[in-house]
Amino acid sequence: GVLISRQFVLTAAHCYRNKNTTGFLSVRLGSTKRTNYTLHCQRNTGKNFHLERSNTTVIHEDLDDQVICMEVDYVCIPLQDNCTLFMKDIALLKLKEPVNFTTYIWPICLPEHCEEPPSNASIYGVGWGIVYDYVIYPDETDESLNEADKDVRDSVEYESSAEETKDASSELEGFLVHFHPKTLMERNISLITNEQCEKQLATTVPHYALCSNGGVCYGDSGGPLMYKKEGQWFLAGIHSVVGGDCYNPSKPSVHVRVSHFVDSFFLPLMQQDQDSESTKHNLCIKDEARKECVTTFYNSYNASI
């Protein structure tokens, strides 16, 4: 997810699968390291609220980062009219308490007036999703390469190897591996137009969808697509669906176009006085309907929920 104000976070609706969005939910802020965030948040809930009032952040020595964990007040997912391939796969989370911004915790800017990224803007996606790499193990006599290879192996958690090759002439072995990174990863994303996306998917793409030629993978869901303008980072999209094989995607990846929802969905909820129930009633899907919609969404991609 991504912080967009002192009290609101954006993520993907399907991340909740068919689970309840009521009860204890928490958000971990301030760390680029992948950990069991639920454990840390539950363990430090009382301490965090005290630290929030004192305008400081808690430091987890085991995370080596400034991290705060905030409890979620409610989750709002927009009313849906298409629960198949192009669900409005976005969720707005309101935190119970405002966040105090720090060097490590700062909100991203939302686009104004339905503004789209400049044509020359570089788009970046970030997340802890699966990463593919082709790793070559060098000859043991090359100490510098061995040390570099060790650094790579120490920084990731290898899950499996999809392919192994060996070059007899150079005595080098190579592995195509996928792994879950321990730290937040960033990658440049190549966006395509909705017209190009429609041709590749052979279906109509709604205007609230944003497509790219790969660049993301399983585990990146809910993460931001962002671009820099005049020294500030702006949010272009929230990642939703991977286009097949992450290493060699056969179809475009699909994201939610944030600019479509700013005026009609985000701002009415963020600016409402004292959590008007009528505003939420008019904008947020009921939890049971959300579960049904997400189940249909997963089924449309032949994925199990």
Predicted local distance difference test score (pLDDT) of residue 144: 47
- Computed over every residue of the chain, the mean pLDDT equals 81
Q: Which two tokens stand for residue 257?
A: 């176009």
Predicted local distance difference test score (pLDDT) of residue 244: 76
Instruction: Give the position of tokens 């997963």.
Output: 298
pLDDT of 169-209, one tens digit each?
Answer: 344 577 778 888 888 989 999 999 999 999 999 999 999 99
Predicted local distance difference test score (pLDDT) of residue 276: 76
pLDDT of 91-142, one tens digit each?
Answer: 999 999 999 999 989 999 999 888 999 888 999 999 988 888 777 876 554 4
Is pLDDT larger for residue 15 or for residue 151? 15
- CB distance 244 to 37 below 8 Å: no
DSSP code at position 219: T
Dihedral sign for Cα atoms in the order 193, 191, 93, 81? positive
- SS3 assignment, position 180: strand
124/144 Cα distance (integer angstroms): 31
**Residue 4 pLDDT > 50:** yes
**Residue 67 pLDDT > 90:** no
| Residue of 128, 1, 80, 64 lying closest to 287 (CA atoms) | 80
| Residue of 163, 55, 115, 127 lying closest to 262 (CA atoms) | 115
Q: Which two tokens stand for residue 259?
A: 């600019």
Distance between start and end Cα atoms, the chain:
20
Burial of 140 (0-12, 13-18, 19+ CB in 10 A): exposed
Domain extents in the chain: 2-128+184-300, 132-181
Predicted local distance difference test score (pLDDT) of residue 177: 82
Predicted local distance difference test score (pLDDT) of residue 60: 40
- SS3 assignment, position 78: strand
The residues, ordered by sequence, that sit 6+ positions from 265 with a Cβ below 8 Å of its Cβ are 78, 90, 92, 283
pLDDT of 229-270, one tens digit each?
Answer: 999 999 999 999 987 778 878 899 999 999 999 999 999 999
Predicted local distance difference test score (pLDDT) of residue 274: 55
Predicted local distance difference test score (pLDDT) of residue 288: 93
Residue 129's identity, in one-letter code, is G
- SS3 assignment, position 264: helix
pLDDT of 33-56, one tens digit each?
Answer: 877 555 555 444 444 433 333 233
What integer is the mean pLDDT of 83-95?
95
- CB distance 146 to 138 below 8 Å: yes
Q: Where are the beta strands (DSSP E) in the chain?
A: 2-3, 8-11, 26-29, 59-60, 65-66, 68-76, 91-95, 123-127, 131-137, 156-167, 172-181, 185-189, 191-192, 209-212, 224-229, 232-241, 253-257
pLDDT of 210-222, one tens digit each?
Answer: 999 988 898 899 9
CA-CA-CA-CA dihedral for 247, 239, 182, 38, to nearest 10 = -140
Hey, what CATH topology would domain 2-128+184-300 get?
Thrombin, subunit H (2.40.10)
**Residue 147 pLDDT > 60:** no
- CB distance 236 to 212 below 8 Å: no
Which of the listed ranges 10-14, 64-68, 162-166, 212-216 does the model predict with the highest average pLDDT?
Answer: 10-14
- Strand ordering across the sheet containing 232-241: 185-189, 123-127, 224-229, 232-241, 253-257, 209-212, 191-192
Give the other-Cβ count within 10 Å of 24's Cβ: 10
Is pLDDT larger for residue 248 or for residue 163? 248
**pLDDT bracket for residue 13 (50, 70, 90):** very high
> How many helices, marked H, and strands, marked E, lie in the chain?
6, 17
Output the pTM of the full model: 0.80
Predicted local distance difference test score (pLDDT) of residue 72: 94
- CB distance 69 to 9 below 8 Å: no
**Residue 280 pLDDT > 50:** yes
What pairing do the DSSP bridges indicate for beta strands 232-241 and 224-229?
antiparallel
